[in-house]
Structure 1
Amino acid sequence: MTTERSNDRRKAGTGHRDSPVTRAAVLSAALAIVDRDGVDGLSMRRLAEAVGRDPMVIYRHVPNKAAVLDGVAEVVFAELTVDAAASDWVAEMRRVAREFRRVSLAHPRVVPLLVTRPLATPLGQRPPAVVRPLEDMLALLTRAGYTEADALHIYRALFGFLYGHVLNELQEIVERPEETDDLLRLGLYRLPIGEFPLVRGLASVLAVYDGAVELERGLDILLAGLAATLPGPDLAAPPGPGEATLPGPDDAPATR
């Protein structure tokens, strides 16, 4: 009976008992489980089965489930890169934003971890892959002419927007997909018209939510606002397609 159970465990796992187990292999297996079954579907037992090892082997690389969740966020953050030497900081910020959205849509069930797990650990104790986007973004912006403090403000504004954007894009907004009427499809008929006339009136707009378009529009607003309120470098290069012209601090409209 013991031999049969051992064979069953070996078959259930994706690892090979004759190959070494590494932390990277453990986290890769954990990411696959979360991608497929969500955070609630991840357990140390299931992770051990996926790697094809006894659970005690897993504990040598990750001491508990919290460490596994931190590691999963680390693996996904490692997919995000910032070119600190980019000559056009505005274009690079847009590229980073688009890349963050791509990574998030590729791992939608990991997104809550990207938003919450780093906050559970002091900045200096977070994995390098989690801190690297911050360091490279600061380098990009200070090279462009911003002060270090303003560069940090811009980073926080950008990623605060990105976290909110992907969470909003990934939320389920369709209640009855078989309906053709937008008010019914989104369940907005449940809202009293006397209390929520504006929300109900936006049914047709809410029904055609386009994440890529919303991202670009949000970046237009964010970047233009940052350029108008933070003194920084002159933007000599004309904006590319879909990019708003960013006014300098002297271009703000006069107050009447």
Structure 2
Amino acid sequence: MQGELPDDAPSGDPDPSVPDPPDLSDDAPDRDGPAARGATAVLPAGPPSTGRTPLDRRRVLGAAVEYIDRHGLGALTMRRLGAALGVEAMALYRYVPGREQLLDGVVETVIDELYGDPDVHMQAAHGWQDFLQRLAHGVRRLALAHPEVFPLVATRPPAAPWVRPPLRSLRWVESFLTAMTDSGFSDEAAVGAYRAYSSFLLGHLLLEVSQKGVAINAEDVPGDGAPSPGADLRSYPSVVRLESLLSRDETAAEFEEALENLLGRLETVRQEGRAPGD
């Protein structure tokens, strides 16, 4: 997406709150990789539960994220998670009714890292392009920090089943739509931006984690495709207001538009005699 800076954009010294452009030289470290960012933000499971360290929902979900990171999604069971926490599996049902709710909680726990990322802004304070760049790199950091968990982020059914493309985190969808409409996008344009942006971002990152050996096909991601019953959508007014737009199936037209844009960019690359990444 292209856009112009507002007329009142500051000049002179660069704004320290705006991220520097990435170093794309061959020997530059991946700025989104875990090594460049330090340890993951999710709290580790910690030692096995004792009378002095009682379980709570946050600890159970943090342990589930850590278990999937280490052993893969397919290995996660309530019994194995209980063993990792030093309790019987039945003790976990007080905090998560079942495996499906556990996986929903895992997604929420990982997405919460996005909102704790100091480089990601929840409002487009420095323009919508800066907002989208920060968000994209924040999501990529999640994918690289939790490659075994990331397919869940992109495939768990949303609480609002009309969202297209489906994304489990309505908090993300809500902040995206609000930021875009606050930046002057019409409702239709904001939804179109969400579709194009999320399709590009999630598709690219799913391919990236698959190259690390993570399975991303439907058989490897549990779930029956139905949202959690009784979902409360009052915290997501933009999602509710734009239901009629978000529910449209425009994937064929969007595919053609994305393909045309790609071919146009490649033609520019051909004419300029350079590699696509230069």
Distance 1:33 1:173, change over 3 A: closer
Partner residue in 1 for 2:14: none
Shift of the alpha carbon at 1:135? 1.1
2:123 to 75, 84, 105: 84
> Which residue, out of 47, 52, 62, partners 2:81?
47
Deviations 1:14-47 (A, max 9, x none): 3333222111110000000000011111110111
- The CA distance in 1 between the partners of 2:53 and 2:195, in whole Å, is 42
Per the TM alignment, residue 53 of structure 1 is displaced from its structure 2 partner at its CA by: 2.1
CA drift at 1:168: 1.4
Q: What are the equivalent positions in structure 2 for 1:116-195 lying under 5 Å apart?
A: 116-119=155-158, 121-123=159-161, 130-172=169-211
Matches of 2:208 and 2:176, distance apart in 1: 24
Q: Tell me which amino acid in the other structure corresponds to 1:160.
A: S
Greater mean deviation of Cα atoms: 153-162 or 12-21: 12-21
Q: Which runs of 5+ in 1 are unaligned?
A: 1-11, 175-220, 226-256
51, 70, 76: which one pairs with 1:17?
51
1:112 aligned residue: 151
Task: State the distance in 2 between where 1:163 and 1:102 align.
Answer: 12
Deviation larger for 161-170 or 24-33? 161-170
- 1:57 corresponds to: 91
Q: Greater share of helix residues, 1 or 2?
A: 1
Bigger RCO of structures 1 and 2 (CA < 8 A, at least 6 apart):
2
Q: Under a length normalisation based on structure 1, what TM-score does the superposition of the two structures give?
A: 0.58
Alpha-carbon distance, 1:55 to partner: 1.9
Contact map agreement 1:79 1:103 (CA 8 A) in 2: yes
Look up the equivalent residue of 1:74 and give its one-letter code: E
Gaps of 5+ in 2: 1-45, 116-120, 163-167, 214-256, 262-278
**What's the offset of the Cα at 1:171?**
2.4
Superposition deviation, residue 83 in structure 1: 2.0
Percent of aligned pairs sharing the same letter: 38
Q: Which amino acid aligns with 1:96?
A: L
1:33 aligns with 2:33: no
- Deviation track 1:65-121 (CA, whole Å, cap 9, x = no partner) reads 1111111111111122342242311011011111111110000001111111134x4
Find out whether 1:100 has 2:139 as its counterpart.
yes
> SS at 2:136's partner residue?
helix
Amino acid at match of 1:33: Y
Counterpart contact for 1:25–1:51, Cα < 8 Å: no
